[in-house]
Structure 1
Amino acid sequence: MAQHVARLVRVLARPRQHGLLHAGAQGTGRCTAITLAAGICQTRLFRLPCGSEEAILGCLREVSWHAGILGQPVALLVPKGVDHTTLHRLLALATSGSFPDLYTEADLENIEGHLPRDSLIAKQNIKKEILLQRFCHQVRSHLHMFILIGDDQAHDQLPSTLFLRLLQLAIASTDRYEPWDQDSLVAVAQHHLKGVQSPPLDDDPLRFPDIQASVSSVAKAMALIHLSAASDQGHLCPELPLVTPKTFLDFLDTFVLQQQWMTLHIKNRAQRIQNALRNLKMLIEKHSAHTTLVFNLEEQLKGSHKSLGRLNHQLDQIKILYKRQLTECRQQENLIENLTKQRDALKAQYEAFLEQVSSSYHLPCTDPLSEGDNLS
């Protein structure tokens, strides 16, 4: 592929150079090579449509405008399958800068008005034919056509004279493109994958899969996948360019994007797991602290239970002592009550005795106990 691109770059670097790109099968990378070469040379790339004649003429007018008026190098990609009339018109455009019925009178006046001139006097003196000749010369100098043909066109469909004129036009670059073999696919895949940036290696304990360590095996697997798809496509629909070098490059880009997305996804999940483990560690530490606190509280509760039991025992002893003292007090009260009754009985007997004595001796009745109490 690099050699093909280099040849196309040489064609674009020189004026009035064209290319004839021949291939025996679809998907050989011709369009990709032209796109790369045009990007390297900073050339505007146009693709000739395969639709109506008006669309084809409109594209050719736009190409001629950029080449003749703007003076910019342009590349025109002519796809496979264009009719013979279009090929003859392209040959005339490449050799003469124009062909009949390409421009209307309005187009010619527009071209004449936009062509640069040296001065106002020169603008008035230069004839219209000279301006158009200058325009056609600019078109021939800045236009580069790349015509894609296949084996069927070269052998059967194209007339020999037309094919000979195409060969003469593209004498500077007539190249044949073959499908990429397995070694080429592996080399392209390895070069593409080696340019992928690996995840940064830091002190993070998490390690992500590094694609650089398995570039060879991955490149070989991708090459085999591409060849298998190309084989299936050749059996199912050989006319459609479904498996091409561009699709292989897109496959590589998709693989790289998917690998980067998976790496980022794994990294995010690992970060979430780390955060969860960190939170779990904090919860375990808090649980340990709470467990220690509960253990201390249980020990305090056990001590309080022991103190409560001891105090309850003391309270029971005090209650027993209280009951004993209460019983003794009641006994003392009963004793005092009995003594009081005995005293009252003795007093009554004494009073009765005094009354008897006083009545016998006619003495005043006095209460010696009362007097004794008063004296005391």
Structure 2
Amino acid sequence: MSLVVGCGGDAPHGTVNRVIDTAQPTGADDRPPPPLPLPRGGTGARRGPLAPPRPGAAGGRLRRRLLAALVAAALAVPVAGAARPEAVPAPVPPPLPPLRAVTAASLAERFAATRGAIEAAMRTARAAGHPWRAAMLRTMADPARHFLSFDGRDGGRAAEVFGDLATADRIAVVVPGSGTGLDTYGLLRAGSMRLQRATGGRGAVVAWLGYRTPSTVSLQALTPGRADEAVPALRAFVRDLARLKPAARISLLCHSYGGVLCGRAAPGLNVADIVLYGSPGAGVDDVAAMGTRAAVWAARGTGDWVADLPHAAVRLPFATVGLGEDPMDPRFGARIFAAGDGGHSDYLKDGSPALANIARIVSGHAPAEVSHVS
């Protein structure tokens, strides 16, 4: 099995912000969704992630509020969709041979192959009249950058390495949340670079944009559907890393909706830590339901609007609405660490308590824990 980022459907996603790898770009995750009549905190007694609330006034209120969120998102979808441009065309990337070993020579060969795929996408974007995407892809094709995989279609897929993967004994895989694509990739890249520096440069960080993320204000952002679609790709990627680097300590770092993907993909993964930060849920009821031997951590900044989202899951005839229990709720069972007073996109900013603590977790050290819900 190769370290390849899987591709989704044909529809575009995300809002185009025309960001070209700035230090702190503005992505869809930076803005809170429109105000909704949503509850805070946990849901009460533990239940499976798909079970409806138990009968009673509290359960009825929660169900009505979740349905109100669904209706509000449904009304917002046409507006958000109207603002999105047509999908930027990109060629089908050539198949990549599987990595048999992680050595300087094998990685150089892989990076050269993905650079060729990026350059092909750049030429296609330019020919189709999308100079801003072509310019962004030109920066990604810089020989100093290292991509394990790339696919420019459907908003984009990529896995970029920061640090020396061949010699690293600590590897962090950063899984982004809603609204992330090639047009908002700068935020993911900048945070991954800062994390790699915060570890003292001894480990490697992989920015894994390997799935079709939902738009921040959309029906998909309220359901685990996009996460479930991406589970096989994330599991394959992490298992390949564990096979190729059996002595390395691997941590899965999951921001925002990425926490739902990590929670659903967790069973059986050979990772040391799963870190949920700024996550509205993990798509499961609690840590035990994740089926993992990894240490599960959670953090949320006091300025993060995700705290105001619903923390439950309700099975409806046409979909499951909600993303499960709040990872910050004591009943969820995660180890809580300090994240400071930052907002939703501030966790990997220089000087933030969240960045310092996540770097410590990746390095195998205990973070500064807190005993209360942030």
User: Does the alignment reach a TM-score above 0.5?
Assistant: no
Structure with the largest fraction of strand: 2
TM bucket, shorter chain: under 0.3
| Bigger helix share | 1
